[in-house]
């Protein structure tokens, strides 16, 4: 049983946006830049545009094929499968990281005595269900849920206006350009080029421009929302409080108090985390499941979703000891770690595929004849 | 004894999935399914028993710090 799953450009963009939001909306990124974090994010978006275009170009070069098929075509079966294993690992790791962040967040801000396996297991069950239903269902789901998420982000940002201190933003570039560039590098790898996972999920059909649209518009709109939230957080909290907080968005929203009537809106942050975290885990799970099934030359991936989800659930316990270790790891190690999977490997596949492109095309045409 | 409920849960999940695969006569899928299922089962038993497994963050940190210091020395 193998159905061709097709999603519209709008669904692709919304899914891409939710994926980019992932854990970033709550955890924050580019913290090295401190009060210039908004600038670091803008530079990160600009740096991510050519990389996203490379992902789209890579997929549009081979009709109906994803990165697993392309790497096999470019490197041959053996080397291609080794590269595919690395891609599968990255997808599993990203899913586990989001799952861990989510369970730590719920454990810290709310249910501190509940065993972590309860939140992780329930979320993973839903994600496995979503991944099993396929990209079409996830696309339709994201189209509906994104509206709520955007509404929450803009509502909380608007209601935070009375707490804004514009002196928190000034002076711009107080510590020079170096921390901003470090923050931009950090934002580039987490979350803007994590979208490499979509190369495992998407494949290009007749309209080759649609992939570019999905990648670029998804990146730009999600990036704009992330810049807005970063500005809100820095204006409300200031650089010192922001560097101390593990969940800056949660802390910034918690300060909203309009006439002692509109307050305690931080639960809205939890809803944001749940929606975007679900999307990111589901897409990563889908990518990893597709990769594993292709490793064993299966066309259908659905039968392997449950074991893959269980791997993610277990990795969720092993990614890090606690949120302190994870935050340090995200700042110091992830930019280099992510670069391998998000830039080096796709570039290698792209260059090799480009070189062998004509050869592969002629081989495919002769097979069809 | 801690690992017994874990094994039972895994058996229940695997049984439910494998039955539907066997109905469709997908024997190759069943073999791959069991092979992949062994990975989370092993991890779960280790977690349940309380084996001291280093976190992925600490392992990658050691690896990348060594690589980065090597690059710095060369530079």
Chain segment A192-208, per-residue pLDDT in tens = 889 999 999 988 676 77
Beta strands (DSSP E) in A173-287 are 257-258, 262-263
Residue A39 C-alpha, separation from nearest chain B C-alpha, in angstroms: 27
Nearest of A347, A297, A340, A364 to residue A73 by alpha carbon:
A364
**How far, in Å, CA of B18 to CA of B30, rounded?**
6
Instruction: Tell me how far CA of residue A289 lies from CA of A32, A115, B25, in angstroms.
Output: 35, 27, 21
Nearest of A324, A36, A15, A53 to residue A211 by alpha carbon:
A53
Contact status, residue A204 vs residue A184, Cβ threshold 8 Å: no
pLDDT at A23: 81
Alpha helices (H) in chain B, listed in sequence order: 3-23, 27-49, 56-74
**How far, in Å, CA of B46 to CA of B41, rounded?**
9
Mean pLDDT throughout B48-71?
91
Q: Where residue A29 falls among pLDDT bands split at 50, 70, 90?
A: confident
Q: Tens digits of per-residue pLDDT, A301-332? A: 999 999 999 999 999 999 999 888 998 898 88
Mean pLDDT across chain A, nearest whole number? 89
List the structure tokens of B10: 């895994």
Contact status, residue A26 vs residue A247, Cβ threshold 8 Å: yes
Verify whether the Cβ–Cβ distance B40 to A311 is below 8 Å.
yes
A307: nearest CA partner in chain B: B37
Q: Tens digits of per-residue pLDDT, A213-257? A: 999 999 999 999 999 999 999 999 888 888 888 888 888 888 888
pLDDT value at A191 more than 60? yes
Nearest residue, CB atoms, B57 vs list A308, A313, A319: A319
pLDDT at A124: 95
Mutate to test the interface with B, among A115, A294, A307, A315 (most CBs of B within 10 A): A307
Q: What is the pTM of this model?
A: 0.93
Residue A42 C-alpha, separation from nearest chain B C-alpha, in angstroms: 27
If you write DSSP's letter for every residue of A304-347 in order, what string do you get? GHHHHHHHHHHHHHHS-SSHHHHHHHHHHTHHHHHHIIIIIHHH
Mean pLDDT throughout B41-70?
91
B9: nearest CA partner in chain A: A310
Of A20-29, A212-221, A233-242, B14-23, the poorest mean pLDDT is in: A20-29
Q: Tens digits of per-residue pLDDT, A54-69? A: 999 999 888 888 999 9
**A298 at B interface, C-beta within 8 A:** yes
Quote the DSSP letter at residue A258: E
Helix (H, G, I), strand (E, B), or coil: what is residue A263?
Answer: strand
pLDDT at A20: 93
Verify whether the Cβ–Cβ distance B43 to A292 is below 8 Å.
no
Count of Cβ atoms closer than 10 Å to residue B38 Cβ: 11
Q: Where residue A1 falls among pLDDT bands split at 50, 70, 90?
A: very low
Verify whether the Cβ–Cβ distance B36 to A326 is below 8 Å.
no
């Amino acid at each position: 049983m193998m159905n061709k799953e097709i999603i519209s450009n709008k669904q692709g963009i919304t899914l891409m946006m939710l994926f980019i939001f992932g854990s970033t909306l709550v955890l924050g990124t580019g913290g090295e830049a401190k009060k210039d974090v908004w600038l670091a994010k803008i530079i990160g978006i600009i740096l991510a545009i050519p990389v996203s275009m490379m992902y789209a170009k890579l997929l549009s070069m081979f009709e109906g094929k994803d990165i697993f098929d392309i790497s096999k075509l470019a490197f041959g079966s053996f080397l291609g499968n080794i590269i595919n294993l690395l891609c599968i690992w990255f997808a599993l790791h990203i899913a586990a990281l989001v799952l861990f962040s989510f369970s730590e967040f719920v454990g810290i801000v709310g249910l501190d005595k509940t065993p972590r396996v309860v939140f992780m297991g329930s979320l993973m069950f839903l994600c496995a269900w979503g991944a099993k239903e396929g990209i079409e269902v996830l696309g339709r789901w994201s189209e509906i849920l994104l509206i709520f998420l955007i509404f929450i982000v803009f509502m909380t940002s608007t209601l935070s206006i009375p707490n804004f201190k514009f002196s928190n933003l000034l002076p711009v570039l107080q510590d020079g350009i170096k921390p901003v560039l470090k923050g931009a590098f950090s934002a580039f790898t987490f979350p803007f080029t994590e979208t490499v996972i979509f190369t495992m999920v998407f494949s290009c059909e007749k309209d080759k421009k649609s992939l570019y649209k999905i990648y670029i518009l998804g990146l730009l709109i999600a990036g704009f929302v992330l810049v807005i939230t970063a500005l809100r957080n820095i204006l409300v909290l200031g650089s010192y409080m922001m560097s101390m907080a593990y969940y800056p968005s949660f802390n910034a929203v918690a300060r909203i108090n309009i006439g002692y009537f509109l307050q305690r809106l931080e639960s809205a942050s939890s809803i944001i985390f749940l929606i975007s975290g679900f999307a990111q885990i589901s897409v990563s799970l889908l990518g990893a499941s597709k990769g594993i099934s292709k490793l064993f030359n299966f066309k259908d991936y659905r039968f392997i979703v449950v074991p893959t989800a269980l791997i993610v659930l277990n990795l969720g316990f092993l990614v890090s000891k606690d949120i302190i270790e994870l935050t340090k790891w995200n700042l110091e190690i992830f930019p280099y770690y992510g670069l391998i999977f998000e830039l080096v490997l796709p570039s290698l596949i792209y260059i090799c595929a480009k070189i062998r492109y004509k050869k592969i095309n002629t081989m495919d045409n002769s097979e069809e004849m | 004894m801690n690992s017994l409920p874990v094994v039972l849960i895994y058996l229940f999940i695997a049984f439910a999935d494998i039955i539907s695969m066997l109905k469709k006569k997908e024997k190759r899928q069943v073999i791959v399914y069991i092979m992949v299922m062994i990975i989370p089962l092993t991890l779960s038993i280790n977690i349940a028993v309380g084996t001291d497994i280093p976190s992925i963050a600490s392992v990658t940190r050691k690896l990348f710090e060594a690589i980065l210091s090597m690059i710095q020395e060369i530079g």
